[in-house]
Amino acid sequence: MATRELGFDDYAKIARRRLRVLLVPALIGAGLGYLITLVLSPQYTSQSLMLIERPTVSQNLVQPMTTDDLFTRLASMEELIESRSKLQPLIERYDLYKRERKSSMEEAVEKMRKDISVKGTTFEDTNVKNNQKESIPGFSVEFTADNPRTAQQICTELTSMFISEKLHQDEQTVKGTTDFLTNQVAEAKRELDDQDAKLAEFKSKNLGALPDDTQANLQVLASLNAQLVSVTDQINRAQQNRVYEQSLLSEQESEWKAAQANNENSDTVAIMKDQLTKMKDQLAVDQGRYTDDYPDVVKLKKDIAELQKQIDAQSATSAAPAAAPKSGAAAEPQSAAANAGSGSGKTSGQIPGSIQQLRATIKQDEIFINEHTREEQKLQQQVKSYESRLQVSPAVEADYNKLSLGHDAALKFYDTLLASRDASQMSVNLETQGQGESFKILDDPDLPLEPSFPVWWQFVLGGLAVGLMVGVVVAAVFELGDKSLRDERDVEFYLGLPTLALVPSIGAESGKNRNGRGRLLGRRKRKQLTAAPA
């Protein structure tokens, strides 16, 4: 038969009807749970709490050596501590897990790993400065053993292992980081020295043709070109003067030789005057071209003055013999002849001063030309040198830029490593001085007074729950087997007939239910009457 849908009232009625079926298994289960706790061997768990103290120096000033997450580091340390090399000495020292050790030490180690528990946690702390709560990280270490004293001792050992492992890891991290950075700095220093040597050698080979020297080379080249032009002009003018003076010298020498042949002072004076006239003409030409301070003009004026003095002296010399015959007429022919003879001898044995001056001037011009010619050659060589520097400057600049880029990269890398090494050294000092991150024991391993397993009330509650479930299953089986019609809804659902009236049960017999179990349903139980089919 189909079963109608049950509501809360129906389940409540079923619970009242089957109360004994539900309670008896539940009570039996609770009792069995408590009896099991008496049979099982107790296990005791010792626990220690450890606080992870933050560095006393701000991380903005000194970066810590370890930047991994707390739980990652704890997992790493837990793996190291739970290794066989760490746990086997504890098992042998405290004589643990005798049954497992009979099989193999590996089983004993695995059993001890299961008894160890490391859990991360946080502690709330009130900051005095801003009166705010802060979360401080920490973790707990637990160990479970058959004996409470053993559990406490093993937990103490494990706590010490965590502290020692933290110090060891910090030491290894500090040492490894410092050694690595020191080696890297030394390697970078060697690379930087090599770059410096290459750059210095390149500068020495291309001295004056470096990119920084280009502007200076241009300025020097312009200055040398200006000096070269000036020296060339001076040489040209000196050569022109020499040519002119040589022509004058040739004329004067020819005139002097003619005067010597004719023995006439008047001719010499005339020649000198003619020469003076030419020099004055040349002076007029030079004054039209140059200023009075120009060296050639000054020199020409000096030569004209010297020539004028010579003309005046020669005129005075010629006038002296002419005045001598006035003293007596008789002596005039002899004096004239003597003067003529003496004058002829003097003139024939002495070179005129103008010719000597011109020769000296020409010699000076030649010396001047030679000196300035050497200077001109020197300037030309310097100009060629600077021009060659400017020509190779682009290629030198390209090579210099490549070397400079390599040198700058090596210098930057070296500075970076040097800064990292200094930061690492500060972190080392922070750790060695005890101002870095450290583990602090907040609660020492306790001596457990109550066993952590089995807990009697947990087993009682478990047995009660199991018994109650068994009772529910048994009550459900009974209800599924009971086909009694208990109220008008059952009548309407199973028979499909409307209920006309309800008659309450009277007497003890009416209190028995229809399944023959004789359970008293109460005086308020009503007997159901159904209408006969039409």
Report how far apart, in Å, the C-alpha atoms of 350 and of each of 77, 221, 261, 344 are.
Answer: 123, 53, 14, 10
CA separation for the pair 30, 424 (Å, rounded): 63
**What is the CB neighbour count within 10 angstroms for residue 298?**
14
Is residue 95 located within the same domain as residue 107? yes
CB 477 within 8 A of CB 39: no
CB 13 within 8 A of CB 482: no
Residue 453 gets which letter from DSSP? B
CB-neighbour burial class of residue 490 (10 A; exposed 0-12, middle 13-18, buried 19+): middle
Report how far apart, in Å, the C-alpha atoms of 36 and of each of 28, 324, 459 are.
Answer: 12, 178, 8
Of residues 105, 116, 100, the one with CA closest to residue 155: 116
Is residue 524 located within the same domain as residue 478? no
Could you please report the per-residue DSSP string of 191-202? Answer: HHHHHHHHHHHH
CATH number of the domain enclosing 136: 3.30.1890
Could you please report the per-residue DSSP string of 139-167? Answer: EEEEEEESSHHHHHHHHHHHHHHHHHHHH
Residue 448 lies in a domain: no
Residue 417 lies in a domain: no
Which residues fall within 8 angstroms of residue 164, CB to CB, at 6 or more apart? none
Sign (positive/negative) of CA torsion 14, 20, 23, 25? negative
Is residue 252 located within the same domain as residue 381? yes
Of residues 315, 355, 316, 322, the one with CA closest to residue 339: 322
Is residue 343 located within the same domain as residue 240? yes
Dihedral of CA atoms 152, 153, 158, 162 in degrees, nearest 10, equals: 90
Bridge partners for 504 per DSSP:
526
CA separation for the pair 301, 294 (Å, rounded): 11
CB 530 within 8 A of CB 500: yes
Bridge partners for 499 per DSSP:
530
Q: Which residue has the tokens 């004719």?
A: 262
CATH number of the domain enclosing 293: 1.10.287
pLDDT of residue 133: 63
Residue 233 token pair: 């002009």
pLDDT of residue 461: 93
Residue 396 lies in a domain: yes
CB 3 within 8 A of CB 485: no
pTM of the model: 0.47
User: What are the E-state strand segments in 232-368?
Assistant: none
Report how far apart, in Å, the C-alpha atoms of 252 and of each of 172, 266, 310, 344, 364 are.
Answer: 108, 14, 13, 18, 19
The domain of 160 spans 44-184+431-443
Could you please report the per-residue DSSP string of 371-422? Answer: HHHHHHHHHHHHHHHHHHHHHHHHHHHHHHHHHHHHHHHHHHHHHHHHHHHH
- Containing H/E element for 439? strand 438-443
Angle (deg, nearest 10), helices 353-432 and 148-205 = 170
pLDDT of residue 70: 64
Q: 492: helix, coil or strand?
A: helix
Which residues fall within 8 angstroms of residue 50, CB to CB, at 6 or more apart? 138, 139, 140, 141, 159, 162, 163, 439, 440, 441, 442
Q: 67: helix, coil or strand?
A: coil
Count Cβ neighbours within 10 Å for each residue of 335-357 and write b for 16 or more, e otherwise: eeeeeeeebeeebeeeebebbeb
Is residue 22 located within the same domain as residue 50? no
Is residue 156 located within the same domain as residue 303? no
Residue 494 lies in a domain: yes
Residue 422 lies in a domain: no
Residue 99 lies in a domain: yes
Is residue 474 located within the same domain as residue 488? no
- Containing H/E element for 53? strand 44-53
Is residue 220 located within the same domain as residue 353? yes
Is residue 513 located within the same domain as residue 467? no
pLDDT of residue 157: 92
Is residue 281 located within the same domain as residue 369? yes
What are the pLDDT tens digits along the chain (534 aa)? 456 677 788 888 888 888 888 899 999 999 998 898 888 888 899 999 888 776 655 555 555 556 556 667 778 888 888 889 999 999 999 988 888 888 888 999 999 999 999 887 776 665 544 455 666 778 889 999 989 999 999 999 999 998 888 877 777 777 777 788 888 888 888 888 888 888 788 777 776 667 777 778 788 888 888 888 988 898 898 888 888 888 888 888 887 777 666 555 566 677 777 888 888 888 887 787 778 888 888 888 888 888 888 888 877 766 654 444 444 333 333 333 333 333 433 444 477 778 888 888 888 888 988 998 998 889 888 888 878 777 777 777 777 778 788 878 888 888 888 887 777 777 666 666 555 567 788 888 989 888 888 888 888 999 999 999 998 999 888 888 777 777 777 777 777 777 777 776 665 444 444 444 434 333 333 334 444 443
Is residue 237 located within the same domain as residue 354? yes
Question: In degrees, to the nearest 5, what angle opens at C-alpha 72 toward C-alphas 71 and 74?
Answer: 60
CB 109 within 8 A of CB 85: no
Of residues 303, 290, 310, 412, the one with CA closest to residue 351: 310
State how many domains the chain has.
4
Bridge partners for 234 per DSSP:
none
CB 271 within 8 A of CB 253: no
Is residue 27 located within the same domain as residue 68? no
Residue 201 lies in a domain: no
Sign (positive/negative) of CA torsion 150, 155, 161, 164? negative
- Containing H/E element for 124? strand 116-127
pLDDT of residue 469: 93
pLDDT of residue 28: 93
Residue 371 lies in a domain: yes
